[in-house]
Amino acid sequence: MSVSGGVEFSPERGRAVGCDVIQIFSKNQRQWAVPPLSEYTVQKFRDNIQKYSIQTSVIHDSYLINLASSEPEIEKKSRQAFLDEIERADALGVPFLVFHPGAYKDSDPESGMKRIAGCINRSLEQTDHASVILLLENTAGQGTSIGSTFEELAWIIGQVHDRRRVGVCLDTAHAFAAGYDMRDEKTYEQTLDTFDRIVGLNYLKLFHLNDSKTGLGSRVDRHENPGKGNIGLGLFRTLVNDSRFQDHPMILETPGGDAYFRNNLILLRSLISKQDAP
């Protein structure tokens, strides 16, 4: 949801298109330096979450942040900005902060993953007063990005000291582009079994429900509306009827704006089996 004019307006915008759950940026995602949240904004956001019956809210961190960077200036800015994201989520009462693990660029994957884990640990130690859960988002595998394999996600989580405050956001388009097929019930179960064996389903806290413009294993991140891409509706039908995830927040990051969000929500809800509906 847009936060134009202030994050406090996002719950109303979410309700207007039929959302029970919203995801926002807590600040301009293209700028390092931003003003702190005012007490008015914080209270108004919290009030509007209740007023517009938003069950869960999620913050996605800034696109500028790269926790895997080996460049000193970027590493320093990323650490501070990431810490600020956690503090903002805590102030707003947002339970989940989703972030891309990062890209190692001129370094190597192992060093990049160590830097990510180190930053997570430092951030958790500095925010031990908060309950915000940090969610690593799986990636499509473009370039030097980390997190396209379940093994990489598991390794990072394994290095975290306080694992009560860390988890995974599974993006369906990213998983598909990374080579994980879930288009029918058989491949869906196989992929989730693999995730459970390597990472653990207990760490899976949130879904991004996106179709993919690109093919299986393409390693290219291009989102599409559900049923309009190379994944098709099979995955989404199976997922919204999986009782294991009945209470898991599910977010659309699809193209087209609010009108498409509204139609996609109607479509996804229409896939829910009546006998399984809560």
Helix H or strand E encompassing 223? strand 223-224
Phi, psi of 211 (to 5 degrees): -80, 170
Is 171 an annotated catalytic residue? yes
Strand, coil or helix: 59? strand
| Annotated catalytic residue, options 75, 181, 253, 258 | 253
The catalytic position among 12, 63, 122, 197 is: 63
Query: Is 162 labeled as catalytic in the residue annotation?
Result: no
Single out the catalytic residue among 13, 88, 165, 223. 223
Active-site residue flag, 137: yes
Catalytic residue among 30, 39, 73, 106: 30
| Per annotation, catalytic residue among 8, 13, 60, 115 | 60
> Is 174 designated active site?
yes
- Written as six digits, the tokens of 248 are 């898991």
Which residue in 8, 87, 211, 221 is the catalytic one?
221
Nearest to 69, CA basis, from 21, 101, 37, 97: 101
The residue annotated as part of the active site, out of 100, 115, 165, 237, is 100
Identify whether 221 is a catalytic site residue: yes
What's the full length of the chain, in residues? 278
Catalytic one of 208, 211, 224, 237: 208
Reading across the β-sheet that carries 21-24, which strands appear in turn? Answer: 21-24, 56-60, 96-99, 133-137, 166-171, 204-208, 250-251
CB 172 within 8 A of CB 209: yes
Given 61, 87, 152, 171, which residue is catalytic? 171
Please pick, among 84, 87, 137, 152, the residue that the annotation labels catalytic.
137
248 is catalytic: no
Do the Cβ atoms of 243 and 276 come closer than 8 Å? yes
* Catalytic (active site) residue 47: no
Q: Please tell me which residue in 13, 88, 165, 174 is annotated as part of the active site.
A: 174
Active site residues: 30, 60, 63, 100, 137, 171, 174, 208, 221, 223, 253
